[in-house]
Structure 1
Amino acid sequence: MASVMGLLEKREAAARVRVEELRVEADRILAELGAAEVVLERRAIARAELGEALASDRDAVVAPVAEAPDPAPVVAGEGQVPVAGSVVRRCGEGMTVQALALDYRRIVELVECGPGGGEGVSAKELAARLGLEVVPAKVETVRSRAKRLVERGWLSASPSGRFMPRQPIAAARRAVGMPGGPVGGS
């Protein structure tokens, strides 16, 4: 007869396997979404370019072709409003936290105005500062988002798993004598 503890361990192991499978699937879907967004952007640009080319070939007597709405700007954060649940763009030169969806922006701002001394902020501390219940599910959600920000260059992480401002921002702020406040306002 199997012990109760053994049965619970088997169920927990099965649940862990399922969680990992879902994480892999979520990463795959996010990658597919990113690729689909690139295709959509390219097609919108092609349509706009064709409209401009056709409009320039017509006589001045013909009414101008209505301009197609400009697709997403090249530099995110300039006139682009991020959508909740959107893909986190790679941090590039001239980009501000305004290019991020609100949830991600808040994480970056909290890390940047976190405790000094280079120790960084843990996912648990971030969850608490975000006003979330400090339970494993919420902490893991925050950790996942912070790791995504690290992968995209918005933050850096210590080997101990604490999150810190990325080095160029932190160094630039120290150079001009600024405290670690949020970049781009709040």
Structure 2
Amino acid sequence: MLGLLEARESAAREVIERLREEADRVLAELGEAEAGLERLVIARETVAEVLGGPAAQMGETAGSYADAGPMGVMVVPHRREGLSARVLPEEYQRLFAVLVAGAAGGPMRARDLTVALGREAMPAKIECVRSMAKRLVARGWAVADQGLFTVAAGSGAGSALV
């Protein structure tokens, strides 16, 4: 009986290891795809700005920024003085609100942000939230230091969501 249990345990460990390797591969591909997407979004915004197209004329009103760009891609605008967090796509607004609410308690890890958003603290969901938080950092809405995220100076209370 113990031999059968040990065999099943060994088989389960092998499946877990195989799935972990697959998850690592998928996360690496996701990171590459997100980086490629980010480059495309920046290129499109730059071309539109140079050509004086719609992106350059959007102004700073919340209604001017769409939650999604072409092909359903969420566009996270760069933070500028006086720009409200309401211009962020809905999921980013929720994440930013968690960062604002947690600012008094200090910087937060991606795992804590994931739980605060009501998501299960499993690696894939934590990595998704980490990616979103990094995008907020890249766009000037948040700052990160050694894996800890917090609201960027000047983007907290004035940009908070009501």
TM-score by length of 2: 0.70
Match of 1:158 in 2: 145
Match of 1:103 in 2: 91
Distance 1:113 1:8 in 2: 37
Match of 2:161 in 1: 185
Residues 30 and 87, structure 1, Cα contact 8 Å, conserved in 2: no
Distance 1:185 1:128 in 2: 20
Match of 1:176 in 2: none
CA RMSD after TM alignment: 3.0
Residues 154 and 166, structure 1, Cα contact 8 Å, conserved in 2: yes
Residues 165-184 of structure 1 mapped to structure 2, 5 A cutoff: 165-169=151-155, 183-184=159-160
Residues 98 and 105, structure 1, Cα contact 8 Å, conserved in 2: yes
Distance 2:23 2:132 in 1: 22
1:122 to partner: Cα distance: 2.0
1:154 to partner: Cα distance: 0.3
Higher mean C-alpha displacement, 31-40 vs 132-141: 31-40
1:105 to partner: Cα distance: 1.3
CA separation of 1:127 and 1:19: change in aligned 2, threshold 3 A: closer
Residues 23-172 of structure 1 mapped to structure 2, 5 A cutoff: 23-40=31-48, 45=53, 71-72=54-55, 73-84=57-68, 85-117=73-105, 119-159=106-146, 161-169=147-155
SS at match of 2:154: helix
Q: What number of residue pairs does the alignment pair up?
A: 147
SS at match of 1:125: helix
SS at match of 1:167: coil
Identify unmatched segments of 5+ residues in structure 2: 1-9
CA separation of 1:155 and 1:141: change in aligned 2, threshold 3 A: same
Match of 2:5 in 1: none
Residues 110 and 182, structure 1, Cα contact 8 Å, conserved in 2: no
1:132 to partner: Cα distance: 1.7
Instruction: State percent identity of aligned pairs.
Output: 31
Distance 1:158 1:74 in 2: 32
1:77 to partner: Cα distance: 3.5
Residues 156 and 164, structure 1, Cα contact 8 Å, conserved in 2: yes
Distance 1:9 1:131 in 2: 28
Deviations 1:95-124 (A, max 9, x none): 11112111111111110111515x212222
SS at match of 2:42: helix
CA separation of 1:155 and 1:114: change in aligned 2, threshold 3 A: same
Question: What letter matches 1:34 in structure 2?
Answer: I
TM-score by length of 1: 0.63
Distance 1:74 1:92 in 2: 13
